[in-house]
Chain A
């Protein structure tokens, strides 16, 4: 089979991360292609969330956290001292385990990012962008008549899709998802998974999941992390039918430990 070259959105070279003395990520080298979904799996404490949060420098806020090596988005090192971190986080959106809408109306939850980034000319454009992002996140039909209601009145699944809409509205290139369905019921989970599939057309998605079947269902590529290292990184189909590494096989089939 011929190799098709796909542009890599994220390129990671000899990347290390430390929490003080603790070496949390060890010599990570991977490429994450654009417009694909990359899932990270591995036992708790293996470094997958640290890796995810290193992409948009969310770990900067942690004392004693430091990195070396390269974490590049579109060829630019995000740890370069000239990088504007606020701008980086606009380009790299994030969705968390528990839906975390602002204590504001549904409308204002989405409008917030547009306001702080000054991404609209007038009220009409603001409304259009809000509608579009809620549609993109597949939650428009459920909330269109309640835009002035508090976001807390929505169900957990709706709140999570609202948070995805909030991430989408400022047009990021990459969306990071840290166990985005961990607190959702199966139907809401299925909706989010469907949504992720649709979103990859326009975004590059990196997702941390503890649910092996979820990685198998949604991801194009899967990375297996253990003790701060990437043990295996390959096409998801290959990982789940014929993993190349015994440790991966033991972990994904539940024979681990």
Chain B
């Protein structure tokens, strides 16, 4: 049966996917600006955060309207409430990408502490997690979503590695502290992004299977 309501749900789905695509691009460009030490690109990433902020508000508005006007239940209800939560997580990720760009603009005023290896690797993992999460969302694939959650530990591991390494540089020379802290913060932001993706995948599992897997509540 063709329904206007399904059409509205489709628009919502398209918008949340667009939001995810914008976030992915923001992460990619933020890390590129860091690697290429481009103040211009970093500034652009910072400024583009507004697009995601506006889209977040738009998606939230759509969800509230659907709740008020359609009173969705069962799978429709789970979809709308999950989108509301995914929306917030994506927006926070967008903020973190903008923050990375901001820190990059400070960092590039100082000489390079060390060649960037682990941070781009973290960003690559985060982006692959995000891309797969988008696929899981498109295909209602909860099995995939569950697998993505497991990759969070890889990002956590990389963060610890960056932290220790940068700490060593800072201990060797206190002149490295300023840029060292910025680097650690960037790595921390990426680590947080993976946490947000974990939330998103938990929401996808709830949306598809009606199972609450966060905090090991249900399998």
Query: Could you tell me which A residues sit within 8 Å of B by CB distance?
Result: 212-213, 216, 239-243, 248-249, 252-257
Contacts and interface: CB of A to CB of B under 8 A. Distances in A.
Contacts of B71: 213
A241 B78 contact: yes
B1 A255 contact: yes
Contacts of B114: none
Nearest to A244: B210
5 contacts: A241-B73, A241-B210, A248-B74, A249-B75, A255-B1
Given A253-B73, A253-B76, 13 more contacts: A212-B73, A213-B71, A240-B73, A240-B74, A241-B74, A241-B77, A241-B78, A248-B74, A249-B74, A249-B75, A254-B3, A256-B1, A257-B1
Nearest to B72: A253
A174 to B, nearest CB: 27
A223 to B, nearest CB: 16
Contacts of B1: 254-257
Nearest to A248: B74
B73 A216 contact: yes
Nearest to A240: B73
A239 B74 CA distance: 7
Contacts of B5: 254
Q: Is the interface of A mostly helix, strand, loop or mixed?
A: helix
B178 to A, nearest CB: 51
A213 B73 CA distance: 9
Contacts of A257: 1
Contacts of A241: 73-74, 77-78, 210
B79 to A, nearest CB: 10
A239 B78 CA distance: 12
Nearest to B6: A255
Contacts of A248: 74
A252 B73 contact: yes
Contacts of A255: 1, 3
A219 to B, nearest CB: 13
B207 to A, nearest CB: 11
A245 to B, nearest CB: 10
A242 B78 contact: yes
Contacts of A213: 71
A248 B74 CA distance: 9
Contacts of A249: 74-75
A191 B207 CA distance: 34
A257 B2 CA distance: 11
Contacts of B73: 212, 216, 240-241, 252-253
B157 to A, nearest CB: 35
A243 to B, nearest CB: 5
B74 A252 contact: yes
A242 B74 contact: yes
Interface centre among B5, B78, B210 (most CB of A within 10 A): B210
Contacts of B210: 241-242
A185 to B, nearest CB: 18
A157 B72 CA distance: 27
A155 to B, nearest CB: 26
B204 to A, nearest CB: 15
B75 A240 contact: no
Interface string B36-79: 00000000000000000000000000000000000111111110
A232 to B, nearest CB: 11
Contacts of A252: 73-74
A243 B210 CA distance: 9
Nearest to A239: B74
